[in-house]
Structure 1
Amino acid sequence: MEREIPEQPRPLMLGDDSLDDALRRAHDAAKAAGVESDGPVDPEDHDSAEGPKVSFSFELAGLDDAPQIRGLEDRLNAVRGIQARIIYEPATAWVTAPAGYDPRVLEEFFASQGVSAHLSDVSLRRRAAAQLKSPSSGTTRRTRSRVDRKLLDRAKLAGRLGVAVAKEDKDEENAEVLFTARSLLTRSRLLVSLLFSLPVLLLSYVPAWQFPYWQWAALVCATPVVLWGAWPFHRAMLGGIRRGMSALDGASSVAILAAYLWSIMMLVFTAAGSPGWQSQPRWFAFRHAPLDAGELFLDVACGVTVLLLVGRALSKRSRAGLLEEISAHQPPLESEYEVFERHRGRGAASAVKLPVTELNEGDDVVVPAGRVIPVDGRVIGGTALVGPGLIAKEREPRQVKVSSAVHAGSAVLEGQLKIRVLRTGHRTQLALIRRWIDRATRRHHHSTYLSTRTASGLIPLAITVAVLNFGMWWLISGNLNAAFATSLSVLAGVAPVALALSTALAVRHGIEALARHGILLRDENVLRQLSSIDTVIFNRVGTLSEGKMSVETVVAERGENPELVLRVAGALAMESDHPVSRALVHAAREARDSGAGGDEIPHWIEVTHAGIGEDGQFTGLVTLPLKDAEGEISSRQVEATLWRPNNMSELRGRLAAAAVAGGTPLVVRWKGRDRGVITLHDSVKPDAASAVDDLEMMGVSTMMLSRDTYPVARRFADRIGISAVLAGIAPSRKPRTVRAVHTRGAKVAMVGDNSVTECLRVADVGVLVASDGTLEQLRQDDDSAVEVVVLREDVSAVPQLLRLARRIIRVIDRNITFSWAYNATVMVAAIAGVLHPMAATVLMLGASVLIETRSNQARRF
């Protein structure tokens, strides 16, 4: 009997008055079709599941637990035409819906379930590209998407695309308020200010050129410089006052205005305004003329302005960093690639031109020379020379061929590739790395904001000192001109910008330098921890060894068949992807294919109830040909175990000797007796020995953590020069062992892959050696187990990491010491009257340039 097909609900549109009724009918239709749903369905239904599709990715917040996901997925998938998948750890939802679907309905649905959902950046840009296409052009999936990048950027700042802008860090915005707006520091402002300042400076310092009323001409020339040329600094000061902060150029702004207004007072109320008055340049406060004689400081107002503009123009401080370079390095959204689409049921494939936003998993993309690879994938045709990209495991171009893995962001230098797409958009390795760097950068902006606020505290201090200095000089010397000149030197000489940049620049350059060389840091606090590391513990597997193992020897107990021992080991390890398991399975299959062991060894060994224990031992029930009491051979199911010995007391006789004679030992046991030992050869990484030597030369103790018995582990460690060996440590006891080293007073950096995550958590710094699969598992939120992610396969990344961290911390400490020493010295010199305001300005800019130059040392890797 056919099941009655329920009536399809009419399309649900946003803002429909009958929204609730339509949702109820959609829920009833899904339930009648056999799809269970325990709540109302909010997303809109569609007349048909056929036709073009559109995919959305949402970033979720508010997922309380993993079981909550099942209910959300069921409700979404109950709607005809919608397919949803929610991943708990990255807090991401992928939804496929019919074309023209409004994602706001999905966001409203998530909100009704207590979950906040926002379209990811990739989906936002893809949606903007689709909306900006001309509807009258008949654009289809096989036609070019001509989207103006300026229109896309405009769309990102408006409407739905404003979500990404709303997430901007407030601390970063507040920190920028303390700095002078870079957009106002234009070349034209500098040139005009310099043009009007030159006559003022020449007339002030060359008495022979001072004609009658020259001082009034100097005032006319100085006015546009002070009011327009120095406007960026005045604006920064006013913005800081409005927010209850002190802009870093606030003292300079006060100095410029004070010098200008004081000069006007002198021209109006003293002899300085008379026709024949002349000025003599004076560089020390105790040589200044008395008040009634008059003295002008127009040269100071113009000189400070021009020098500040020059200094800020030459300054390399910019928010444009590695993230912006990554964005610029990616292919534009409208760029097209040739794609071969395979048709099911037909062997033929058709070539079409598709934009980057429409590339999907499984497509075959052709990337010619000179183009950037837009996806992660595997080469299925062609050979080419591929550049390393901005962030790469390799630092040199490499030759790739069929079966080679390639990643988004790399450029094809020579040749042409045909790539099978594995990951696109936000799922590529480059996107994952970008999110990691973005998180580190946001944390850095927060700490930069705090340090900048501290530096801005110099401004009220300098103003207070200047006021007190003015009063003291007036009371002691009675010379108001001298009192004003010394106070002006205090304001012009302080360098809060140097103090603010003393940490920020070095940290940013260091984080970006490490990222460019395939090492990702969680935040700048890790640099301080790395600089104090005195012990590095390596997990042997995944860090020091190549990761590809091979069977070295098979030693059977007396009366046992070594071929059977090998076959049982391969059968037990069949379901694991560990290098040990792959080596056993490969050797067992080779022995089977070669016919080793003859007819006595079964061609296939059945394993049931297979499992892996806490200590990493494989267990299962295997069917083996065994002799009974009468000597007859019959197939019997017995319990078998594949385990690794931790110490010599666990083995006896020839098996004990075999376990220490070669590489990594594994013991095969069935029916409660150990039947044989298999040793595995594990190749050492080529640079492991040199990396360990580098660490020892830096004064860092090296240790190796291994499950192997001490003789085996010690033999491996001796090959690369490891100082100490922590051998015979079962996986469950490894975190306890690392903690024990830490509690003895050592500053520990644990280096390992994702198999020792708990060890990374208990160490002072956890260094994760990541593979492509590991990167997929990295969460976007905080993960205390991982402070550093190494994308490279070489061991030399570890000493390079520690060396750069130490250099950055040295640069930071020296910058901070110099900044405070400079500001204290310049204030004392200004108060003492030995520092002219112009000289103080030159020193202030020199200090900032010196700090920036020293901070650039962090870029060297």
Structure 2
Amino acid sequence: MAETPAAANVSDSADRISHATYTSVSSAISRAKQAAADVGINTNDLHTHEFSEEYFQGRTSFAFELTGLDSATSIGEIEEALEQLNGVKARIVYTSNMAWISANRGVDISALVGIFKHYGIEANLTDSSLRRRMAWSDVEEGRYRRSRRQHRRKHLAQQHFLHKQALEEEKQLEYLRKSGFLDGAEQRFVHKEPTDVLFTARNLITRWRLFASAFLTIPVIVICYMPSLQFNYWQWFVALLSFPVVTYGAYPFHRSFIGGLRRGMSALDGASSVAITLAYLWSLALIIFTDVGKISYRSDSELFAIKLAAFENGALFFDVACVMTFFLLAGRIFVRKSRASLPVELSQYKPVPNSTVIVVKKLRNNGKSIEQEVPIQKLNVGDDIIVPAGAIIPVDGVVIGGSAIIDACVLGLGKIATKVNGKVYAGCVNGEKALKIRVVATGHRTWLAAVYRWVAISSINQDHSDALATKTASFLVPTAIAIAFTDFSLWALATNNVNQAFATALAVLGCVAPVALAVSASVAMRQGIENAARKGVLIRDAQTVRRLDQVDTIIFNRVGALSEGEMTVETVTAGRGENPDLVLRVAGVLTLESDHPVSRALVRAARELRDSSSNSSIPGWIEVSQIEVDELGNFTGLIELPVKDSEGHVENRSVEAKLWRPRNLSDLQGRLAAAAVSDGTPIVVRWKGKDRGVITLHDEAKPDATSSVDALEAMGIETMMLSRDTYPVARRYGDSVGVSHVLAGIQPGQKEQTVRSVHNHGAAVAMVGDDSVDGCFRVASVGVMVGAMTSLPNPSHLEDTAADVVLLDGKTSPIPWLFSGARRMNRLIQSNFLFAWLYNGIAIAAACLGLLHPMLATVLMLASSLLIEFRSTLSRTF
């Protein structure tokens, strides 16, 4: 039988599609082979059984002792000559006259020695290399044979797997071709929005569903409320127009209602689903079984009032079913678009996995720098990259070339001016000039990734809280259905008018708004927490916000919270007959390995004194050993000092030295006691059981510390300062920043107990400090870490901190804003709850009394939900 033109066209179209598919796959395979070749993989060898002997031989290393290497200038040339041999990698160390060579096992040693001889150098294998080669020769032979057998087995298994995989792909391709998947336009991958178990499935609420419902709802409304346009059998036409709306348009709500019934739960949109279904079925029953379906029937509907006369002979509610569906769809889409999602915003600043960056590398042989385009996944710590102007910085690093103003809004840090030795972070947008950056952290080790993980965990915690609120609100759905059924029964018995009774019951189902009750707290809380994160303030969960509202006392740790962190040595007061320079040098030696601000200041001052002093009685280097730090933060160790013996000879002896801080005025006497309370932070230096001097250190308060403390005091929050200093010194510092109370002489091991004691006296305590008071965060009502990006050793520690609130920056100005925002958010949530309950109670009562038309009930339901959403967005000012 001859082939028809249509069949011929279909056949030609299928051939063209098959040819295009084959061409596309072939092109992809070619690109993959080329990419493999670029990284040194020969794909042709993967399909052969025989490999070169070098493939199985493995690699080994050699160490040569060189004689005659008189100049370092020829090292690069010799290394290049050696590496011209197949598989050879060579490194020559001039200072030790050694050559380290890595090569294939079968390399000819004489060839390597010949190259050295060509440059006038005698090369001899070291004894360890000779012994290793003799001892492992048999082992390597066995390894060589096992390698060949293992590869042969792997090759056969790989061939079998690839053959099986090719058959499966061919079957899948044939299935897709038969099912028409490859017909028509190009294949597209559509991003599906995540479903939300708290509400109706979001991916089902689409714009097309909304547009289709609106297109059919408009003529239904016009015909129902304009009697002049009602023609013969208009009611049947309206029923036909309404059917797609209540089925296709309202399908997401019906689906959630049925899914809730299957799980023994109440969907939030369950009452609306029941109302839409009953409104349509009731109206359809009236058309079929009563006079409403006659040709001469005309309707005079009311929009927002119940007209009792209209229900005597029956009333149609197709308009209510369509309008309720349209409003629900429009409201859900509007709310979904208005809610900001911080994880989505942060993901936009993440480096694209397959993107590349320019890496600057220096060649060893000639010292020249070259630029290479390298994938971001292959960046290593220590690499130097170039970030052009306007590009997103893909790593955390340090600027080693250029200067620019970067946009760090993704981390809540605003605009940052950076230059050489300045820090930059992944996700920040470079300014108008290119920067050369040395990589410090990549991928999940960056601060952007750490903040993203924190926000994700916070979102999960918030989901648990939202689920509880939704479960509570869902009880309103069966309650509303029971009230509607009771209302219908009472109205039907009292008036003997089932149409009017149904109208009041439908109004009950239409006005109830469990969604408004469910989102009263969740949306406001989520918006507030995410907005705080946009400003660099990370809040753990909703419970933290509630506890912040209850805080009435704040304890600041002086170092890290109120002070700048960088300290300087102000004075050195030596005891009678003691050398002040030696006192400072001993303090620097004992604190050499500590990262505390006090230790850094002492070490820096001691080094400056050593470099500038001409006193020969103090050795240039003081030996120290057995350094220990006790629970009070005191340093002890053995140091070698010049000591005079009984005959007056000076010799170095090991003595026990200690560095400690006085707690009160009774710890010292005389001039040392006066120095300890004069000014600054006192440090006492002792050796051989005698206090030799007092070093006072000074640190400036943060520029915004005073204004922050004043703002907290104005809010009625009592402020305290925790310090290791004696009371006069701590009180003086507290007065400079405006703190009301000072807790002085508190050693590091006693800080937790001190915070707990304040808490046990009935105060709701918020502890503010850096990572050094992490233990205090656990015993306080709320722990607030300041300056996480400077105090934490790396971003991964952010997940392990006990702090409930983390300030990425070191400023204290966000702290008053944090507490005032928490109070404002809690007031907003409470008012949302009150409004939602009042609305539902008043609306249901009005509907039961017959004062609420079903159409007006639908409008009020949507208006209440949107009002709650609008009020919740006010928390963005948190």
Shift of 1:658: 0.6
Is residue 582 of structure 1 aligned with residue 600 of structure 2? yes
Shift of 1:294: 1.8
Shift of 1:810: 1.4
SS at match of 1:403: coil
Partner of 1:125: none
Partner of 2:690: 673
How many residues are aligned here? 700
Is residue 557 of structure 1 aligned with residue 591 of structure 2? no
Is residue 249 of structure 1 aligned with residue 264 of structure 2? no
Query: Relative to 1, partners in 2 of residues 1:196 and 1:202: Cα closer, same or farther, differing over 3 Å?
Result: same
**Residue deviations 1:303-326, cap 9 Å, x none?**
212222222232146786111111
Task: Give the conservation status (yes or no) of the 8 Å contact 2:554–2:719.
Answer: yes
Partner of 1:201: 221
SS at match of 2:677: helix
Partner of 2:202: 182
SS at match of 1:667: strand
Shift of 1:776: 2.5
**Residue deviations 1:482-539, cap 9 Å, x none?**
1100000010001111111111111111111111111112222111111111111011
Shift of 1:852: 0.6
**Residue deviations 1:814-833, cap 9 Å, x none?**
11121111111111010010
Aligned mate of 1:225, from 245, 248, 252: 245
Partner of 1:607: 624
Partner of 1:136: none
Query: Relative to 1, partners in 2 of residues 1:581 and 1:153: Cα closer, same or farther, differing over 3 Å?
Result: farther
Query: Relative to 1, partners in 2 of residues 1:503 and 1:151: Cα closer, same or farther, differing over 3 Å?
Result: farther
Query: Relative to 1, partners in 2 of residues 1:210 and 1:702: Cα closer, same or farther, differing over 3 Å?
Result: same
Aligned mate of 1:274, from 291, 294, 299: 294
- Pairing 1:497-508 to 2, within 5 Å after superposition: 497-508=515-526
Task: Give the conservation status (yes or no) of the 8 Å contact 2:789–2:795.
Answer: no
Is residue 645 of structure 1 aligned with residue 665 of structure 2? no
Shift of 1:780: 7.7
Partner of 2:460: 442
Partner of 2:559: 541
Shift of 1:751: 1.0
Aligned mate of 2:789, from 771, 774, 788: 771
Aligned mate of 1:703, from 703, 711, 720: 720
Task: Give the conservation status (yes or no) of the 8 Å contact 1:271–1:277.
Answer: yes
* CA distance in 1 between partners of 2:417 and 2:777 (Å): 35
- Per the normalisation by structure 2, the TM-score is 0.76
Shift of 1:287: 3.9
Task: Give the conservation status (yes or no) of the 8 Å contact 1:290–1:481.
Answer: no
- Pairing 1:326-725 to 2, within 5 Å after superposition: 326-343=346-363, 347-392=367-412, 394-395=413-414, 397-595=415-613, 598-725=615-742
Shift of 1:348: 3.5
SS at match of 2:411: coil
Task: Give the conservation status (yes or no) of the 8 Å contact 2:312–2:499.
Answer: no
Query: Relative to 1, partners in 2 of residues 1:775 and 1:845: Cα closer, same or farther, differing over 3 Å?
Result: farther
Partner of 1:307: 327
* CA distance in 2 between partners of 1:50 and 1:499 (Å): 71
Partner of 2:137: none
Is residue 321 of structure 1 aligned with residue 341 of structure 2? yes
Partner of 2:19: none
Task: Give the conservation status (yes or no) of the 8 Å contact 2:358–2:373.
Answer: yes
Task: Give the conservation status (yes or no) of the 8 Å contact 1:255–1:301.
Answer: yes
- Structure 1 gaps, min length 5: 1-47, 52-79, 81-101, 103-149, 158-164, 166-171
Is residue 294 of structure 1 aligned with residue 311 of structure 2? no
Aligned mate of 2:809, from 792, 795, 801: 792
Query: Relative to 1, partners in 2 of residues 1:153 and 1:624: Cα closer, same or farther, differing over 3 Å?
Result: farther
Shift of 1:151: 11
Amino acid paired to 2:208: S
Amino acid paired to 1:591: L
Task: Give the conservation status (yes or no) of the 8 Å contact 1:290–1:479.
Answer: no
SS at match of 1:771: helix
* CA distance in 1 between partners of 2:336 and 2:399 (Å): 41
**Residue deviations 1:59-98, cap 9 Å, x none?**
xxxxxxxxxxxxxxxxxxxxx9xxxxxxxxxxxxxxxxxx
Task: Give the conservation status (yes or no) of the 8 Å contact 1:177–1:240.
Answer: no
Task: Give the conservation status (yes or no) of the 8 Å contact 1:178–1:236.
Answer: no
Amino acid paired to 1:427: R
- Pairing 1:720-759 to 2, within 5 Å after superposition: 720-759=737-776
Query: Relative to 1, partners in 2 of residues 1:780 and 1:605: Cα closer, same or farther, differing over 3 Å?
Result: closer
Shift of 1:462: 0.9
* CA distance in 2 between partners of 1:587 and 1:328 (Å): 46
Aligned mate of 1:806, from 802, 823, 843: 823
- Structure 2 gaps, min length 5: 1-88, 90-100, 104-139, 141-153, 155-185
Task: Give the conservation status (yes or no) of the 8 Å contact 2:571–2:695.
Answer: yes
**Residue deviations 1:117-166, cap 9 Å, x none?**
xxxxxxxxxxxxxxxxxxxxxxxxxxxxxxxxx99999x99xxxxxxx9x
* CA distance in 1 between partners of 2:783 and 2:727 (Å): 25
Aligned mate of 2:857, from 820, 830, 840: 840
Task: Give the conservation status (yes or no) of the 8 Å contact 1:284–1:833.
Answer: no
Task: Give the conservation status (yes or no) of the 8 Å contact 2:792–2:798.
Answer: no
Query: Relative to 1, partners in 2 of residues 1:331 and 1:204: Cα closer, same or farther, differing over 3 Å?
Result: same
Amino acid paired to 2:521: T
Query: Relative to 1, partners in 2 of residues 1:771 and 1:584: Cα closer, same or farther, differing over 3 Å?
Result: same
* CA distance in 2 between partners of 1:198 and 1:152 (Å): 33
SS at match of 1:261: helix
* CA distance in 2 between partners of 1:247 and 1:649 (Å): 71
Shift of 1:713: 0.5
**Residue deviations 1:254-312, cap 9 Å, x none?**
11111111111111222212222222224688742486612111121122122222222
Task: Give the conservation status (yes or no) of the 8 Å contact 1:337–1:355.
Answer: yes
- Pairing 1:50-69 to 2, within 5 Å after superposition: none
* CA distance in 2 between partners of 1:777 and 1:151 (Å): 41
* CA distance in 2 between partners of 1:181 and 1:589 (Å): 67
Task: Give the conservation status (yes or no) of the 8 Å contact 1:285–1:485.
Answer: no
Task: Give the conservation status (yes or no) of the 8 Å contact 2:510–2:854.
Answer: yes
* CA distance in 1 between partners of 2:800 and 2:651 (Å): 57
Task: Give the conservation status (yes or no) of the 8 Å contact 1:282–1:288.
Answer: no
SS at match of 1:639: strand
Mean Cα deviation higher: 669-678 or 204-213 = 204-213
Mean Cα deviation higher: 620-629 or 584-593 = 620-629
Task: Give the conservation status (yes or no) of the 8 Å contact 1:386–1:411.
Answer: yes
Q: CA RMSD in A?
A: 2.7
**Residue deviations 1:697-739, cap 9 Å, x none?**
1111110000000010011111110010000011111111100
Amino acid paired to 1:744: H
Task: Give the conservation status (yes or no) of the 8 Å contact 1:215–1:273.
Answer: yes
Query: Relative to 1, partners in 2 of residues 1:302 and 1:151: Cα closer, same or farther, differing over 3 Å?
Result: closer
Amino acid paired to 1:816: F
SS at match of 2:380: coil
Percent identity for Structure 1 against Structure 2: 53
Shift of 1:50: 8.9
Highest Rg: 1 or 2? 2
* CA distance in 2 between partners of 1:536 and 1:292 (Å): 69
